[in-house]
A and B are shown apart, each in its own frame.
Chain A
């Protein structure tokens, strides 16, 4: 133990002059930096440096990111050395910088095209004239369906001008920046959930599990595995609130009639889209309801729901 102490002292003796020298250097450079900053401030105050344009957008981005990293490392240091970060000013700074970064993001998205173009010209050294950055209207005309376009123009000329009615569309959630991979993941997840509650799986569950069987008695309302469908629930709510009975729709009337061979066949042979998604064999495909076309005009409340792509 005494030997270890002696060794430590020896090491300290060696490093001492170097440490002192470094500390002196740090002191000097700190003095230099402060004098530089003071001179710059005085210059700006006198109006020698041009500050009308302010910081450019990209510079703001870099500076905020850097400050964010510095503050974050400070927080990490404090946590690692066991100190608490309660009421630390750097937390507030972090929050502020985070909001700034979030605000910068949509602007960044809008500038992305221009920045990419500039970078490309800088890298490849191609034509440097400014007109090459204009929009290219030739890219907007579709190369296919040229005959259809011509016919449409003729019809439009002879058509009577009528009042423009905007289409009634129900709002659908828009995911700002979602990669194709995450979208596929979401579709897969939804398809799996649907498959788990399909008729096939329900029958298997009844067969192999020990849970008591539930009899689906009500066909009008409470038809599906999880009780009445959303439409049925809404209709019930409406009827009970307004004390009226809504007339039966055509679909309901058809459903009341017993299922025929034609309608049963689809249910029985629908393996692919429902069942096999669970094993990951088949990617989920979009179901196109062909029967929707003649009745696709307006729903009960006059709104069309557009399926999100």
Chain B
């Protein structure tokens, strides 16, 4: 896979002290190629801002009509702990820092209805045992 030449420019840079992060609009210019992968953009931003790549989260990339330019958003957290605290779960899941519970919605609802039939500490037994059905 050739990397190709792609320029990354950042606009509207702001350091958001309330959420312990730096946020910016990321412009990627890649004439004649498809849009660049998010991981590559993260590496480049890490080099630009001298931050570890795992605290950088990029999202919302839209390629302009005709190709050549993509615009998205980027956040650089101070530490990974702050990132885990403030980022929404789906973005953490993209980086592998969060696993969604594998139970399906249907199963969760059925478990809840079973628990409704029982009173007190027996609820937990119901949940664990009967769910295996």
Contacts and interface: CB of A to CB of B under 8 A. Distances in A.
Interface in A214-245: 217-221, 239-240, 243-245
Interface residues on chain A, size class: 10 to 19
B64 A221 contact: yes
A220, A239, A240, A243, most chain B CB atoms within 10 A: A243
Contacts of A244: 60
Interface in B64-99: 64-66, 73
A245 B66 contact: no
A218 B23 CA distance: 26
Contact of A218 (B11, B12, B60, B64): B64
B64 A220 contact: yes
Contacts, number: 20
A218 B66 contact: yes
Nearest to B25: A240
Interface in B11-62: 11-12, 23, 25, 60, 62
Contacts of B23: 243
B36 to A, nearest CB: 18
Nearest to A220: B65
Contact of A243 (B62, B65, B73): B73
Nearest to A243: B73
Contacts of B73: 243
A217 B66 contact: yes
Nearest to A256: B65
Nearest to B66: A217
A228 to B, nearest CB: 11
A84 to B, nearest CB: 54
Contacts of B62: 245
Contacts of B12: 240
A243 B60 contact: yes
A221 B62 CA distance: 12
Contacts of B11: 240
Contact of A245 (B25, B60, B65): B60
Given A243-B23, A243-B73, A219 B60 contact: no
Given A218-B66, A239-B60, A245-B60, 14 more contacts: A217-B65, A217-B66, A218-B64, A219-B65, A219-B66, A220-B65, A221-B64, A240-B11, A240-B12, A240-B25, A243-B23, A243-B60, A243-B73, A244-B60
Closest 10 CB pairs of A and B: A217-B66, A219-B65, A243-B73, A245-B60, A220-B65, A240-B25, A218-B65, A218-B64, A240-B12, A218-B66
11 contacts: A217-B65, A218-B65, A219-B66, A220-B64, A221-B64, A240-B12, A240-B25, A243-B23, A243-B60, A243-B73, A245-B62
